[in-house]
Amino acid sequence: MATANGVEQVKSLQSICYKRGSLTLLDQRKLPVETTYVDILDTKDGWNAIRDMVVRGAPAIAIAAVLSLAIEVSKLGLYNTPNDAAAFLTERLEYLVTSRPTAVNLSDAATKLKELIQKVASTASEAQTVFEV
């Protein structure tokens, strides 16, 4: 460990790097030899990263899945109705769960989000409101 002014400095890696419209995941398969990040552009990339164990750890898997959906949604065009938006989000969440069916946190997060999406869609007047969940 390096020291600065007598204080130990610990170098750490960020496993999930998210900014609105951008997601990169630390490729944990390559540690400790190499530090490589994988760009996630949509739910297909998120699905592959989860299945291929780029991202590991129950909470990180769920977070990576949901953020991959957020990336995909940020690039979408408009949907006609709240129900159309809810159907799209529900389908994508179900798809993401298939990447690691035994990942309990992933399944729980997807279930909770689907419930919230349905609740919002039932009262929303615009599809965009559902995407802002």
Q: What confidence score (pLDDT) does residue 133 get? A: 81
Average pLDDT over residues 110-122: 97
Q: What stretch of H or E contains 38?
A: strand 37-40
pTM for the complete prediction? 0.88
Residue 107 class from Cβ within 10 Å (0-12 exposed, 13-18 middle, 19+ buried)? Answer: middle
User: How large a percentage of the chain has pLDDT more than 90?
Assistant: 82
| Architecture in CATH of 14-131 | Up-down Bundle (1.20)
CA dist., res. 50 & res. 8, Å (int): 34
Top-confidence residue, 62 or 2:
62
Q: What confidence score (pLDDT) does residue 78 get? A: 74
Chain segment 77-90, per-residue pLDDT in tens: 777 899 999 999 99
